[in-house]
């Protein structure tokens, strides 16, 4: 078996799935953006063999489970400055930065190896609108606040809001990517915050419940 040819075929199939999926979501991605996302998947696959950045091992499955899942939130977000808390492998921050070059995206993770991957990805993809911060969110202080603070990795929305609320700009929102509607988590929100919207997402190729939970100050 020619592994090089197989890898190229896998990336070509991923590119096709990505293009059709983005179109179904309603995103008009240019050729350079699509290429950047495919290169991101290839880089993630390479690093994943050593650092275990994600449990999904197959590039074809990564398209829907990771990239399209993240791109599905783009039409529902407004704001030029975005903070991805607990970015990990760059999800959702890197797909957001690629899809919206007019946004400034900060990728925050306290883990040294994950931050190293994020810096490598930002450099290799040429993402001039993305930056990497290796800090704990509750102790980090930014020179500028954020219009959107988003997370895909936090287990509990109340903790997410509590620990990052000092970074939210006036009029900004917290965006938590979830599966089923998190009723109990919303009930535990700090008193000054409330649910603004719960948007059911349709992610092409992903047979799982996905929701974008938007939280804002009362």
pLDDT tens by residue, 57-86:
778 888 999 999 999 999 999 989 999 999
* Domain range summary for the chain, segments of one domain joined by +: 66-217
Calculate Rg over the CA atoms of the chain.
17
Give the chain's mean pLDDT: 93
Q: Residue 92: which of 100, 82, 103, 84 has the closest Cα?
A: 84
**pTM (2 decimals)?**
0.94
Does residue 70 contact residue 96 with C-beta atoms inside 8 Å?
A: yes
Does residue 37 contact residue 95 with C-beta atoms inside 8 Å?
A: yes
Q: Residues 113-150: pLDDT tens digits?
A: 999 999 999 999 999 999 999 999 999 999 999 999 99
Residue 2 has pLDDT above 50, yes or no: no
Sheet holding 104-108, edge to edge: 130-133, 104-108, 81-85, 146-151, 168-178, 210-217, 193-201
Q: Residues 12-62: pLDDT tens digits?
A: 888 999 999 999 999 999 999 999 999 999 999 888 888 877 867 778 888
Q: What is the CATH number of domain 66-217?
A: 3.40.50.150
* Tokens 């100050």, residue located: 217
Distances (CA, A) of 129 to 67, 73, 101, 125, 141: 18, 18, 6, 11, 19
CA max distance for the chain: 60
């Amino acid at each position: 078996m020619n592994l090089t040819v197989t890898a190229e075929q896998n990336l070509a199939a991923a590119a096709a799935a990505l293009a059709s999926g983005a179109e179904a979501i309603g995103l008009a991605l240019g050729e350079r953006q699509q290429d950047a996302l495919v290169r991101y998947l290839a880089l993630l696959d390479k690093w994943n063999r050593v650092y275990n950045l994600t449990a999904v091992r197959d590039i074809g499955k990564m398209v829907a489970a990771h990239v399209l899942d993240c791109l599905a939130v783009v039409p529902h977000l407004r704001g030029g400055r975005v903070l991805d808390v607990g970015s990990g492998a760059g999800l959702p921050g890197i797909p957001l930065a690629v899809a919206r070059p007019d946004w400034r995206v900060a990728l925050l993770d306290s883990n040294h190896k994950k931050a190293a991957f994020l810096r490598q990805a930002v450099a290799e993809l040429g993402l001039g609108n993305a930056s990497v911060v290796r800090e704990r969110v509750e102790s980090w202080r930014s020179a500028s606040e954020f219009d959107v603070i988003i997370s895909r990795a936090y287990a509990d929305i109340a903790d997410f809001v509590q620990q990052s609320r000092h970074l939210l700009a006036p009029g900004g929102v917290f965006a938590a990517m979830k599966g089923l509607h998190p009723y109990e988590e919303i009930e535990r929100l700090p008193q000054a915050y409330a649910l603004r919207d719960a948007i059911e997402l349709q992610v092409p190729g992903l047979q799982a419940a996905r929701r974008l939970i938007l939280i804002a100050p009362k």
